[in-house]
Structure 1
């Protein structure tokens, strides 16, 4: 079979994409992104929601910030985290929708 105009992902882009997808494979980071898509929160509020140690949550937030997935805003003495890139929410939501199909054993065109 003749291959016509098939493009490959550039190696640099492929490596960077793999790093971002690796961030998303962690359930804590996935939860953090999901909750921050709903509301800006402080570290202590995220800790309370997820029932995790503050140091662990801070570490995950730092990783997410490094890849521009979350950002901070200051309100007086408080720092709040928020979703920085709405594109990442598309990936999260599409993945959740796919997981729902798999869990229910349904084809993608079935509800």
Structure 2
């Protein structure tokens, strides 16, 4: 009989669970999708596409930033949001390719 084993490092599993929990919301996945299309966006640019209240959007952005998924850069009056690790967009391929969704 073949022996089964966990093929991923425990720290990697813990980090993956942490990141997945932090993006497990339709708005947050949409933010990742938008930031894949354009490397950085302002709150107003995101709000224009998502059609949600600015306070709700700010809540999601703050949560994602606190969890290390997003970061910001100020340029003049504008604050731009961007992904800290662009490979997180691979989750979009998984969602699109999964027949369960």
Q: Give TM-score, length-normalised by structure 2.
A: 0.80
Match of 2:34 in 1: 35
| SS of equivalent to 1:7 | coil
Distance verdict in 2 for CA 1:43–1:18, change over 3 Å? same
CA distance in 1 between partners of 2:44 and 2:65 (Å): 17
Mapping of residues 4-23 of structure 1, within 5 Å: 6-7=5-6, 9=8, 13-23=12-22
Partner secondary structure for residue 82 of structure 1: strand
Q: Which structure is higher in strand share?
A: 2
Number of residues of Structure 1 aligned to a counterpart in Structure 2: 100
1:7, distance to aligned residue in structure 2 (A): 3.3
Query: How far, CA to CA, are the matches of 1:35 and 1:2 in structure 2?
Result: 43
Shift of 1:32: 0.5
Residue aligning to 2:81: 81
Once superposed, what is the RMSD of the aligned Cα atoms? 2.2
Max radius of gyration: which structure? Answer: 1
Give the 5 Å matches for 1:20-99: 20-39=19-38, 40-98=40-98
Deviation at 1:22, TM superposition (A): 1.9
TM-score, scaled relative to structure 1: 0.74
Give the structure, 1 or 2, with the largest relative contact order (CA under 8 Å, sep 6 or more). 2
Distance 1:72 1:48 in 2: 18
Contact 2:42 2:81 in 1 (8 A): yes
3-state DSSP of counterpart to 1:37: helix
